[in-house]
Structure 1
Amino acid sequence: MVEFEKRGVPTVSWVAEGFIRDAIRSAENFGVPTVAMATMPSPFTNQSPGGVESMVSAGIDQVIQGLTEPPERGPAVDAGFTTITEPMLNFEGKDLLDTMEVMNRQFLEWRWSDGFPLVPPTPDRVERMMAGTTRDPQDVVTTLEPGFGVATVEKIAANAVMAGCRPEHMPVLITAVECISEPVIYLRNKAMSTGPHAPLILVNGPIAKELNINYGVCALGPGSISYANSVIGRALRLVMMNVGFTYPGVSDMDTIGSPIKYSLCAAENTVASPWDSYHEDLGYAPEDSTVTVHFVYGTCELYDFQNWEAEKLVRGFASAACNTVQVSTGKWLVGRRSDPRYHTEEKEHHFMMICPEHAIQFHRQGWDKQRIREEMFRRARMTFE
């Protein structure tokens, strides 16, 4: 709608009542403060043809009005979060722990929190965090949608402190922030979707070992062994919220949500892998340190404890990829989107992690990663109905 309006093409957006605030704020953020809307009680999704027809009939007068009369600026709406212009905040309590609790309660009210306790981003802590990078505190790393927040090194460091990061984590975090702002990621869609999109950070090369990023048991889960994974992934989510304004219930309209949105970060298990590493596949040298971010749409566990034959293993994997109801595997069948702003095309690619036991069986039978990809492409088909 926004891109059509910017090109002089009048539009009217059908908006469900639960999304009115989101629609008005989004239109303002994207440069269309006067938005024409036709509101309806609920979305069109999962409605019968007759139900959709009734909803359209009830709102058609709003559509006609929106196309024939100059639209007015949308009604003022509560932002749903708090912005503070003061460079420094002061909190008081009975003691340091009580003061920390006061700060956390206030941050919850302002929506600056992910729901877990935050480490106070004091000037001293933020300064120490920035010691992990040679970049200037005011260097602009990128601008993050949907709120077009300016991500400076200092702002990233403040969120890193709150997440529990250490200074040595900063290079990975800054690179991950750069990754999600790449046009091909289409961050606006990922940040504002009603689906549980979450950034998965994959770290390769020497830095993964230096930072002790877990690549083995429970690499994408909790625990002391996944400390670096947990805090780096959490920091990226906090940056998306507090710099990019991806606030749940305000711009992030995820219908149900998912725990993967708290944190997703891991290193590749190059110790047990029989193949070249992922970053080597992309043309990097083994001694290069790289960060890859892939937005996953949920997760799907590929369960197979009995098959050792490569053909049977890949057949099971492909069956999961054909399940269009399980969007973490089947959504790639839906298609693709283009972004006219950057002339990029977003394709639904799925990131497949194979456990060492399966990888070894594939390798023993002469299968490399490319053959697995080709077999998945060939087998993961559905008849058009």
Structure 2
Amino acid sequence: MAKLEKAGIPTVLIDFEDQIHMVKEWALAEGVPKIRFLHGGRVVPGPEDVDDWIEPMLEALTKPLTDEEKESGRWEPSRDRVLFEGTLDEAQEFYQQTKDIPRPVYAPMAVYTDGLPIIVPTEERVRAMLTGTSHQPDELITYQADITGILTGQRKKGEVVRFQPSTWRTATVEQVAINAVMAGCKPEYLPVVLAIAESGCGTSTTVFSSQWVCVSGPIAKEIGMNAGCGMLNPGNPANAAIGRAYQLMAINLGGAITGVNRMSSIGSPFNMGGCCFAEYSDGLPPGWKGLNEEFRFKKDESVVMAMITEGGIEGAQFSPGGYRAFQKSGHGGIARRLDVKGTPGPHNWLEYLLPGLWANRTGPRTFIMVHEMAQHLYEYGFKSKEAVYEWIWEKSLTPVKDYRNYSWPDLTTDGWMGIERTSGKRWKELPDDYPVPVAGNMPSENRIIISGGDEELCLEISGGPIGSNPVYSVDAWR
């Protein structure tokens, strides 16, 4: 649309009325700030909705662009290095200022923070933070390796990172350090925060979107991250500050504003203060790779996985002692369901989760499991994570006639006119009994992370990592 507008050809964008702020943001990013916009209805029946905007749409498409509408150019955010000068109390008040966001929020939202008090980023504090990296303060954040992602597309090493959701924004090492100070980070955390910045700090929209950060490799122990009991709970300084830095960068470097361009209807508790934890590499079964090795890094290299998961989060927590009774002696409800009553383990406990994994949502899954449960899968016969991914993917095969009853495929199949990957045929041409995978296009889209304490628990998160290379080197930013 932007290309047509710049060529002088009128276009019109149809979206919901409460999305107008997001449309304006997109138009600014694409250099067509005066694009024509019509409102669609969320609840009005389709035929009536079309009747409301069909004539205005035809008029908008046939009426020549005005001189004002032909104006182009992108809006650039202020590059002022110093935002405020005054006392610490005055600075805290400055950073806590809010702005009223009309429909659909109808409430004030913080301009520079996540709504909570921050550490004021004074010159001295930022200078101290920058001792955590060898990179220069005025250096732009660039990709440290070739990468392919859903939000980023294909990017080459050395290319400048454009922050989400306002994709015209760039940032320097110093600007990242400022947000790290605000979040409460220590200088030794900065390489991790810089690696997160390389992801662009995406936020997604509409769905139950949660942003997660998982650190893999030696740096997790070096900076004292929690990979054990309660790793998602408050209390660990590194986990908390690094997770918060993601959200502050999304706000200050990406321009993410709830109700303007961050339109998740409910939001997610994992975004409130950020969500960051470490992989428990010592708990990996023999032959199972850590996240760093899964993405072709070495075992002694440190990486960050930046995840945006777009669905729900479900915890498979078993009754006290129930899981161990199932594995040790084949007793309890789990054993009865899987028809192994009286048979000692190891058993494949993933079988117990299968009925609910894709009950309401298609797509890959990220499993965060404690080391004991991973060990049982290994003893059962899964000698690698890849073997688990393959098993999950094969178990997800579903006849097309049932696949049609999910909500998301109406969108992901291009209205059933797209090409189904495993057959090479159009979706509409497939017979009802043709099996299609519900767990992503390929087994490797699923993910297993070993973390947490000693109790029997596995989190299943709808959605996998973003793209084929969602992992960023921490060592490159030391």
* Residues 314, 372 of structure 1: 8 Å contact kept: no
Query: Which residue of 1 is the match for residue 266 of structure 2?
Result: 256
| Structure of greater Rg | 2
For residues 150 and 200 of structure 1, what CA distance do their matches in structure 2 show?
22
For residues 360 and 4 of structure 1, what CA distance do their matches in structure 2 show?
57
1:105 is the counterpart of 2:100: no
Query: Which residue of 2 is the match for residue 150 of structure 1?
Result: 170
For residues 169 and 349 of structure 2, what CA distance do their matches in structure 1 show?
45
1:295-310 alignment runs, 5 A limit = 295-297=308-310, 298-304=312-318, 305-306=322-323, 307-308=326-327
SS at match of 1:58: helix
Query: Which residue of 1 is the match for residue 296 of structure 2?
Result: 283
Alpha-carbon deviation of 1:57? 0.7
* Residues 36, 71 of structure 1: 8 Å contact kept: no
Alpha-carbon deviation of 1:208? 0.9
Of 217, 228, 238, 1:216 maps to 228
* Residues 219, 302 of structure 2: 8 Å contact kept: yes
Q: Given the two structures, how large is their TM-score scaled by the length of structure 2?
A: 0.65
For residues 153 and 251 of structure 1, what CA distance do their matches in structure 2 show?
25
1:205-354 alignment runs, 5 A limit = 205-223=217-235, 226-262=236-272, 263-274=274-285, 275-297=288-310, 298-304=312-318, 305-306=322-323, 307-308=326-327, 312-324=348-360, 330-332=361-363, 349-354=364-369
Q: Alpha-carbon deviations, 1:238-264, whole Å to 9, x = none?
A: 111101111212211111111111312
* Residues 296, 350 of structure 1: 8 Å contact kept: no
Q: Alpha-carbon deviations, 1:310-335, whole Å to 9, x = none?
A: 765222333333123xxxxx341xxx
For residues 276 and 190 of structure 2, what CA distance do their matches in structure 1 show?
14
For residues 53 and 83 of structure 1, what CA distance do their matches in structure 2 show?
45
Q: Alpha-carbon deviations, 1:196-225, whole Å to 9, x = none?
A: 4333222111111101111111112212xx
- Label 1:32 to 1:99 Cα distance change in 2 as closer, same or farther (>3 A): closer
- Bigger share in helix: 1
1:365 is the counterpart of 2:380: yes
For residues 236 and 283 of structure 1, what CA distance do their matches in structure 2 show?
24
1:136 is the counterpart of 2:101: no
Alpha-carbon deviation of 1:103? 3.2
Alpha-carbon deviation of 1:157? 0.5
For residues 131 and 316 of structure 1, what CA distance do their matches in structure 2 show?
49
Alpha-carbon deviation of 1:124? 0.7
Runs of 4+ in structure 1 over 6 Å off: 6-9
* Residues 85, 91 of structure 2: 8 Å contact kept: no
For residues 5 and 392 of structure 2, what CA distance do their matches in structure 1 show?
41
Gaps of 5+ in 2: 70-76, 100-108, 142-160, 328-344, 405-478
For residues 271 and 13 of structure 2, what CA distance do their matches in structure 1 show?
29
* Residues 294, 351 of structure 1: 8 Å contact kept: no
For residues 214 and 2 of structure 1, what CA distance do their matches in structure 2 show?
46
- Label 1:56 to 1:269 Cα distance change in 2 as closer, same or farther (>3 A): same
SS at match of 1:70: coil
Q: Alpha-carbon deviations, 1:141-197, whole Å to 9, x = none?
A: 03313322221011001110100001111111101111x23xxxxx7xx53511243
Structure 2 counterpart of 1:114, one-letter code:
D
1:69 is the counterpart of 2:63: yes
SS at match of 2:262: coil
* Residues 310, 365 of structure 1: 8 Å contact kept: yes
For residues 242 and 254 of structure 1, what CA distance do their matches in structure 2 show?
18
* Residues 310, 361 of structure 1: 8 Å contact kept: yes
> What's the C-alpha RMSD, in Å, of the aligned pairs?
2.7
1:170 is the counterpart of 2:190: yes
- Label 1:6 to 1:267 Cα distance change in 2 as closer, same or farther (>3 A): farther
For residues 88 and 272 of structure 1, what CA distance do their matches in structure 2 show?
46
For residues 362 and 375 of structure 1, what CA distance do their matches in structure 2 show?
12
Alpha-carbon deviation of 1:30? 1.9
SS at match of 2:96: helix
Structure 2 counterpart of 1:373, one-letter code:
Y
Query: Which residue of 2 is the match for residue 341 of structure 1?
Result: none
SS at match of 1:37: strand
Structure 2 counterpart of 1:271, one-letter code:
D
For residues 50 and 277 of structure 2, what CA distance do their matches in structure 1 show?
47
For residues 29 and 152 of structure 1, what CA distance do their matches in structure 2 show?
19
Q: Alpha-carbon deviations, 1:106-136, whole Å to 9, x = none?
A: 3677611101111101111111111101111
Q: Given the two structures, how large is their TM-score scaled by the length of structure 1?
A: 0.79
* Residues 107, 113 of structure 1: 8 Å contact kept: no
Alpha-carbon deviation of 1:8? 7.9
Query: Which residue of 1 is the match for residue 84 of structure 2?
Result: 89
